[in-house]
Amino acid sequence: MPAVRRVEWTLVAPLLALVALAAVWGSEIAGVVVAVVAVLLIAAVLAAVHHAEVVAHRVGEPYGSIVLAVAVTVIEVGLIVTLMLSSGDKASTLARDTVFAAVMITCNGIMGLSILLGSIKHEITHFNAEGSGGALATVVVLAGTCLVLPSFTLGEPGPQFTGPQLAFSAVASLVLYGLFISTQTRRHRDFFLPVTPQGTVISVDDDHATPPSSRAAVSSLGLLVVALIAVVGLAKVESPAIEAAVSAAGFPATFVGVVIALVVLAPESIAAAKAARRNRLQTSLNLALGSAMASIGLTIPTLALASLWLPGELLLGLGPTELVLLAMTVVVALLTIVPGRATRLQGGVHLVLLAAYLFLSAKP
């Protein structure tokens, strides 16, 4: 009797999620359907992590981290544009809130969780301070240029850029992001590879597991894109239910963006945590800082172009509370990265700072 070939759940989950997305897109869901969509959303997140790891293992670091960061960000931009088109003037701060949420989640949540998990298992976790420091500097300049300066410029009333200022920030973002990717993948690739406690770079050849075939990697890349589309799409479908829950809890409407950002960044969070458990904290930092960088460096230029036909204003400047939180994040991240090693304390500090952001977003 011929053996029955087992179908992997990581293949089925993204496809089922995509089918569910097509079935419920544009309709209001309630009751059992909300629960089913939530289950498929979680399954798609877990499948995305699996396929991202397959691609990353095939291409090696830092390319694997870039694949996941850019894929998530491109779809995130599409979600922002879609919501802005459907919400009109009510979505004037949506881009700012989403991008800032991504920065806080990546630079505090993903970094903090990765450091904490890695140090629990390995006591002290090590990484390359040169590469991570360059990535942090890029994130700081991008955040300052696109999210801080609009609150202080004088060309337009309120926290927004004039047309030329927005164009400059978009071009500067693309130049910085392109320069960083060139540095990370060509000139100084070894700065972004995992290191031993003695500071020796761990090359891809040092991994004992056999890399997947090119065919398997291409299949996983396609399924990764499908899973990410399903994650973002189902998150949008679930947003009315999330809005109802947020309203019932007495939280401001802007907190919905935080919840959706948490869902969209879940694949990267899980992948970074698993890398940290394998004593590959550098990979986790590549994911965290690369995602923050891509979220700003790709989102702002796209929205600058889309603002030519998008309704309403594009308010990018952060408020006083957000500015303080961003400043604290920059200082804490700098103190974490400079030594090139971290313990549970640094992980806990980042996570408490994330908790402060989430709490103040819910109770401003």
R_g (Cα) of the chain, nearest Å: 20
**Cα–Cα distance between 229 and 223 in angstroms, integer?**
10
Name the nearest CA neighbour of 221 among 61, 56, 19, 73. Answer: 56
Percent of the chain with pLDDT over 90: 26
Name the nearest CA neighbour of 98 among 147, 160, 159. Answer: 147
Q: Give me the residue spans of the domains in the chain.
A: 9-362
Total count of residues recorded for the chain: 364
Instruction: Tell me which H or E stretch contains 342.
Output: strand 341-342
Q: Which residue has the higher pLDDT, 37 or 205?
A: 37
Q: Could you tell me the two tokens for 89? A: 């003037």
pLDDT 10s digits, 211-237: 778 888 888 888 888 888 888 788 778
pLDDT 10s digits, 36-94: 888 888 888 788 878 877 887 777 656 766 777 777 777 777 777 766 666 666 667 87
Considering the domain 9-362, what is its CATH architecture?
Answer: Up-down Bundle (1.20)
Name the nearest CA neighbour of 238 among 96, 59, 79, 100. Answer: 79
DSSP codes of every residue in 124-193:
SEE--HHHHHHHHHHHHHHHIIIIIGGGT-SSSSSS---HHHHHHHHHHHHHHHHHHHHIIIIITGGGGS
Q: pTM for the full model?
A: 0.83
Q: Could you tell me the two tokens for 10? A: 């990581």
Range with the lowest mean pLDDT among 129-133, 209-213, 300-304, 358-362?
A: 209-213
